[in-house]
């Protein structure tokens, strides 16, 4: 039987990935919103089989138990953060993250050093704010996995991830409030994706959406920022968070590999389409609509340029360096006449397919791979 995939209009709500009007038609989240309710359609599953049947998951569980850290005592919160100096230093290394030649004949072309610095500061606040909101999404999704996954060993590991995610929400929230003076609201595209992940009744979709897609992109983004910044508190915070996140993505890869190997083409079609939708939603999120608007720039004027900015495109494609190899390992790229492979080719991210998947490399992120610092000291080797 030939499997026919849905078109972009059905999956994304727009025919073309780069349809500017459709992207901007999704309104920003109300910055004053403090509560958001999503219907959870999943069943809670008890299992009375307590035997050890998945030793790889038990190994992750054991690593998680010894890898716990205390956000209050293990990070140097007394570090003074001069955000203007931090961003200025970062911009001296990589520039503004934009190609100025792209923005000729726009209001942005008239910006001086002060405006670009302000843009960088707002961008850092926005970026860490979306990390914060994504971590709360992971907290809720992992609690859902504890309830819905039918395997004993997976429930045990997922319970440790709930603690990890609570700690991540804590550290990003504290850094934003104490060092940056506040935060941005959740990006509308990120919220749409989180809503879809939580709303779906199938337990493996929670894994796919959160553990593979959202956490995979987050791990790459954390690594990029960790390499870039020399701000010691943020650098150390990210290093601790990355040690957890690599285990989380590995948990998704190890769990879903077993399930997806036995799925029919029709079942895999749904997972391929969901992975594609998640990839596009996350790409849309990095347009930073809220930042541009706070800087007084009309999004309809600037968005076509942002999408085609070569400097930004390089950064955005690198964020998929963890997602694509993990999708390949799960069999998502090439099932059903290579449908997802072609979608990733259109997004210019297929070049990462043979990079190490996180199911193999997570041990290299562990805190035990290097001497972790005492309070306030730099990480060894940095």
Q: Which DSSP string corresponds to 326-371?
A: HHHHTTTTTHHHHHHHHHHHHTT-GGGTTSPPHHHHGGGG-GGGS-
**Residue labelled with tokens 């494609």:** 317
Distance CA 118, CA 294 (A): 10
Examine residue 48 and state whether it is found in any structural domain, yes or no: no
Examine residue 326 and state whether it is found in any structural domain, yes or no: yes
Q: What distances in angstroms separate CA 141 from CA 137, 174, 215, 234, 271, one per listed residue?
A: 6, 22, 11, 25, 17
**Residue labelled with tokens 């998951």:** 57
Examine residue 260 and state whether it is found in any structural domain, yes or no: yes
Helices (H), 180-231: 188-199, 203-206, 215-228
Examine residue 233 and state whether it is found in any structural domain, yes or no: yes
Nearest to 137 by CA among 221, 40, 58, 65: 40
Examine residue 144 and state whether it is found in any structural domain, yes or no: yes
CATH number of the domain encompassing residue 166: 1.10.620.20
In tens, the pLDDT along 243-298 reads 999 999 999 999 999 999 999 999 999 999 999 999 999 999 989 999 999 999 99
Examine residue 311 and state whether it is found in any structural domain, yes or no: yes
What is the domain extent for residue 152? 53-68+80-366
Collect the ranges in the chain with pLDDT lower than 70.
Answer: 360, 368-382
Cβ–Cβ under 8 Å, residues 208 and 275 = yes
In tens, the pLDDT along 354-366 reads 998 877 677 788 8
**Residue labelled with tokens 């999004």:** 299
Cβ–Cβ under 8 Å, residues 203 and 44 = no
Examine residue 343 and state whether it is found in any structural domain, yes or no: yes
Burial 107-132 (b: 16+ CB within 10 A, else e): ebeebeeeebbbbbbbbbbbbbbbbb
Examine residue 9 and state whether it is found in any structural domain, yes or no: no
Distance CA 38, CA 46 (A): 23
pLDDT at 378: 36
Angle 185-189-192 from CA coordinates, rounded to 5°: 100
pLDDT at 358: 77
Task: Please state the domain count of the chain.
Answer: 1
């Amino acid at each position: 039987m030939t499997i026919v995939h849905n078109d972009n209009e059905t999956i994304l709500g727009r025919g073309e990935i780069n349809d500017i009007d459709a992207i901007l038609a999704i309104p920003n989240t109300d910055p004053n919103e403090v509560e958001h309710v999503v219907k959870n359609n999943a069943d809670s599953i008890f299992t009375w089989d307590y035997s050890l049947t998945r030793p790889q998951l038990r190994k992750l569980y054991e690593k998680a138990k010894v890898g716990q850290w205390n956000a209050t005592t293990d990070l140097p919160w007394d570090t003074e953060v001069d955000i203007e100096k931090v961003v200025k230093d970062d911009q001296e290394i990589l520039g503004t993250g934009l190609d100025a030649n792209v923005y000729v004949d726009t209001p942005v072309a008239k910006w001086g050093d002060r405006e670009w610095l302000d843009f960088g500061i707002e961008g850092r606040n926005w970026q860490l704010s979306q990390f914060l909101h994504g971590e709360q999404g992971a907290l809720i999704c992992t609690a859902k996995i504890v309830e819905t996954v039918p395997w004993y060993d997976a429930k045990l590991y997922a319970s440790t991830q709930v603690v990890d995610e609570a700690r991540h929400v804590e550290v990003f929230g504290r850094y934003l409030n104490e060092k940056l003076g506040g935060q941005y609201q959740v990006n509308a595209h990120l919220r749409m994706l989180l809503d879809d992940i939580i709303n779906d009744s199938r337990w493996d979709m929670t894994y796919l959406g959160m553990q593979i897609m959202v956490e995979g992109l987050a791990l790459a983004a954390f690594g990029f920022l960790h390499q870039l910044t020399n701000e010691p508190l943020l650098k150390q915070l990210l290093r601790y968070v990355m040690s957890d996140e690599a285990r989380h993505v590995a948990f998704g890869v190890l769990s879903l590999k077993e399930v997806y190997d036995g799925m029919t083409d029709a079942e895999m079609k749904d997972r391929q389409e969901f992975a594609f939708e998640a990839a596009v939603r996350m790409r849309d999120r990095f347009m930073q609509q809220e930042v541009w608007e706070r800087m007084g720039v009309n999004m309809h004027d600037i968005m076509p340029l942002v999408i085609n900015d070569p400097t930004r495109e390089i950064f955005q494609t690198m964020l998929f360096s963890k997602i694509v190899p993990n999708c390949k390992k799960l069999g998502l790229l090439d099932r059903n006449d290579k449908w997802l492979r072609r979608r990733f080719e259109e997004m210019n991210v297929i070049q990462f397919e043979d990079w190490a998947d996180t199911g193999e490399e997570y041990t290299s992120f562990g805190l035990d791979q290097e001497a972790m610092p005492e309070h306030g000291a730099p990480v060894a080797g940095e």
